[in-house]
Amino acid sequence: MTSEQFRRYGRELVDWIAGYLARVEKLPVLSQVRPGEVRARLPEHPPVAPEPFDRVLADVDEIILPGITHWQSPNFFAYYPANGSGPSILGELLSAGLGVQGMLWTTSPAATELETHVLDWLAELLDLPPKFRSDGAGGGVIQDSASSAVLCALVAARERAGTADRLTAYASAEAHSSVVKAVRIAGLGRAALREIAVDDRHAMRADEFARAVQRDIDAGFTPVMAVATVGTTGSGAIDPVPAIGEICRRHGMWLHVDAAMAGTAALAPELRYIHNGVDQADSYCTNPHKWMFTNFDCDAFYVADRRPLIQALSVLPEYLRNEASESGEVIDYRDWQIPLGRRFRALKLWFVIRHYGAEGLRHHVRRHVELARQFAEWVAADDRFELLNAGSRLNLVCLRHRNGDEATRRLLDTINASGRAYVTHTSLDGKLAVRVSVGQTRTEYVHVERLWELLRSAAG
Ligand code: PLP
């Protein structure tokens, strides 16, 4: 592609994206295609001769778009948001344009130094404990996902424990499935994860946790790590981090705090209570790629002491040796993550933070929390519904139909088949629940109000 063609098609593509974001609200949120439908429209073999770019773009409209579930729609209330925003899309584009591999400081000093700096900014914006900033023993790194973060935390915890023998890990029964996966990948054995019972607010029971740890110690196991969740996926529950941290400290265990979604709330000082006890954590993560207007992938992972992480993950072949690394003056982020290669993800987070400023970010987060509060109020006032997570709401509202699972399932199916909104489900206390996750970058009062109308009419 010549430079001239790149300019032309680049402008066309940016125009296309701007147009898409302007009209996405009108598109059916949940893709309506059947399995295999997208592939059936693609040629069986790759093209032999070059194809003009306009033809490729036309196929985006005709083949790809129908197979898209519109995560950028303001009517998207499913799972958790995977937000984008103008500045983050442009940051992503620039990252691709520069195309650097930031595995070592020396492979692109700006990629490393911007990442360190932006993660210090983020720690400041969220008012995280100073030990997570890069000027001491700890620091932050951008991982692709919270799943990678918990795996890295676990291998660092094992490194610090100094043994790989008969290790056990702990998380509540409501913790994210990525904890189960991390324990499996790290080779602790499936049985090594203790799922701790939750209380009636779906938060980990610290007394049960303490008992499980003691039982394991008595049986000759080495408890290595606990994961406390700040904002569970199912219902937004917040584990009692101070009590969990105290038990971890008593037994020399690593505490990882998973605030994948909810951590963004701490941008607003009045919501910082969610981070009570985080000062006891050895590691912490939150996902700007969920609620902080930064497109996937961008997980901010912090450690209080980077040494065990680096010791666990650093492997130095001859071809990566270089003077800067050997000087000890630089960070090589390849040693803070599982893969060697790494994209320049800090650019998009930097663009987002600079575009919105702390005030802008807070404004949007507060608005989402307020919209969720309003929605919950409507739900609570309607006899047909049961509001399930009044105590841990932030921007997630969980509810069910009082007539039981079948009626709740009908709510989901009716709303999603309408194409006018998309909500997903979970199971709470063994019963089906609708999750309404308010947090898409462009969601306004009118979208939440429309969802409420849909819910009411679906309830019959
Ligand atoms: N932890 C929690 C609490 C989550 O809600 C999620 C995703 O919803 C994850 C971890 C996994 O996030 P990721 O996709 O970044 O691995």
Asked if 251 and 318 sit in the same domain, the reply is yes
Residue 140 lies in a domain: yes
User: What's the pLDDT band for 390 if we cut at 50, 70, 90?
Assistant: confident
Instruction: Judge whether residue 332 has pLDDT over 90.
Output: yes
Asked if 144 and 229 sit in the same domain, the reply is yes
Residue 43 lies in a domain: yes
Ligand 1 in reach of 260 Cβ (< 6 A): yes
Name residues whose C-beta falls within 8 Å of residue 130's C-beta, 6 or more positions apart in sequence: 136
Asked if 56 and 106 sit in the same domain, the reply is no
User: What's the pLDDT band for 6 if we cut at 50, 70, 90?
Assistant: very high
| Last residue in a domain, options 343, 375, 397 | 343
Q: From CA 136, how far away is CA 29, in angstroms rounded?
A: 46
**Which DSSP helix (H) or strand (E) runs through 315?**
none
Instruction: Report which ligand 1 atom has the smallest distance to the Cα of 144.
Output: 15
Which of 79, 176, 291 has the most ligand 1 atoms within 8 A of CB, as the residue to mutate? 176
Asked if 331 and 423 sit in the same domain, the reply is no
Nearest to 58 by CA among 103, 12, 21, 102: 12
Ligand 1 in reach of 174 Cβ (< 6 A): no
For residue range 70-84, list pLDDT tens digits in order. Answer: 999 999 999 999 999
For residue range 158-192, list pLDDT tens digits in order. Answer: 999 999 899 999 999 999 999 999 999 999 998 99
Ligand 1 in reach of 287 Cβ (< 6 A): yes
For residue range 398-422, list pLDDT tens digits in order. Answer: 999 999 999 999 999 999 999 999 9
Asked if 281 and 369 sit in the same domain, the reply is no
Ligand 1 in reach of 233 Cβ (< 6 A): yes
Asked if 260 and 407 sit in the same domain, the reply is no
Instruction: Judge whether residue 20 has pLDDT over 80.
Output: yes
Count CA atoms closer than 13 A to 37's CA, side-chain side. Answer: 12
Place of tokens 């935390």: 153
Residue 87 lies in a domain: no
Kindly give the distance from the C-alpha atom of residue 146 to the centroid of ligand 1, in angstroms, as a whole number: 5
Asked if 108 and 63 sit in the same domain, the reply is no
Cis omega before residue 200 (within 30°)?
no
Residue 82 lies in a domain: no
User: What's the pLDDT band for 460 if we cut at 50, 70, 90?
Assistant: confident
Ligand 1 in reach of 73 Cβ (< 6 A): no
CATH number assigned to the domain comprising residue 35? 1.20.1340.10
Instruction: Report which ligand 1 atom has the smallest distance to the Cα of 296.
Output: 15
DSSP 328: T
Residue 348 lies in a domain: no
Asked if 204 and 334 sit in the same domain, the reply is yes
Q: From CA 190, how far away is CA 203, in angstroms rounded?
A: 22
Asked if 306 and 367 sit in the same domain, the reply is no
Instruction: Report which ligand 1 atom has the smallest distance to the Cα of 289.
Output: 15
Asked if 266 and 167 sit in the same domain, the reply is yes
Residue 28 lies in a domain: yes
Residue 380 identity (one-letter amino acid) = A
Compute the mean pLDDT over every residue in the chain, rounded to the nearest whole number.
96
Crossing angle between the packed helical segments 177-185 and 146-161, to the nearest 10 degrees: 50
Residue 161 lies in a domain: yes
Residue 57 identity (one-letter amino acid) = L
pLDDT average, residue stretch 260-281: 97
What is the percentage of the chain residues whose pLDDT exceeds 90?
98
Q: From CA 42, how far away is CA 64, in angstroms rounded?
A: 10
Residue 349 lies in a domain: no
Ligand 1 in reach of 205 Cβ (< 6 A): no
Asked if 271 and 370 sit in the same domain, the reply is no
How many domains in the chain? 3
Instruction: Judge whether residue 391 has pLDDT over 90.
Output: no
What's the token pair of residue 42? 């693609």
Cis omega before residue 297 (within 30°)?
yes
Instruction: Report the C-alpha dihedral over residues 51, 56, 57, 62, rounded to 10 degrees.
Output: 140
Asked if 130 and 172 sit in the same domain, the reply is yes
Residue nearest to atom 12 of ligand 1 (CA): 146
pLDDT at residue number 420 = 96
The helix/strand/coil state of 69 is: coil
Ligand 1 in reach of 261 Cβ (< 6 A): yes
Kindly give the distance from the C-alpha atom of residue 230 to the centroid of ligand 1, in angstroms, as a whole number: 11
pLDDT at residue number 393 = 79
Residue nearest to atom 14 of ligand 1 (CA): 145
CATH number assigned to the domain comprising residue 435? 3.90.1150.10
For residue range 335-375, list pLDDT tens digits in order. Answer: 999 999 999 999 999 999 999 999 999 999 999 999 999 99
Instruction: Report which ligand 1 atom has the smallest distance to the Cα of 148.
Output: 16
| b (16+ CB within 10 A) / e for 43-78 | eeeeeeeeeebeeeeeeeeebeeeebebbbbbbbbb
| CA-based torsion, 145, 358, 139, 231: positive or negative | negative
Structural domain including 424 reads 358-459
CATH number assigned to the domain comprising residue 173? 3.40.640.10
Residue 212 in contact with residue 406, Cβ under 8 Å?
no
Instruction: Judge whether residue 443 has pLDDT over 80.
Output: yes
Nearest to 22 by CA among 365, 448, 440, 442: 442
Please state the φ and ψ torsions of residue 388, each to the nearest 5 degrees: -105, -20
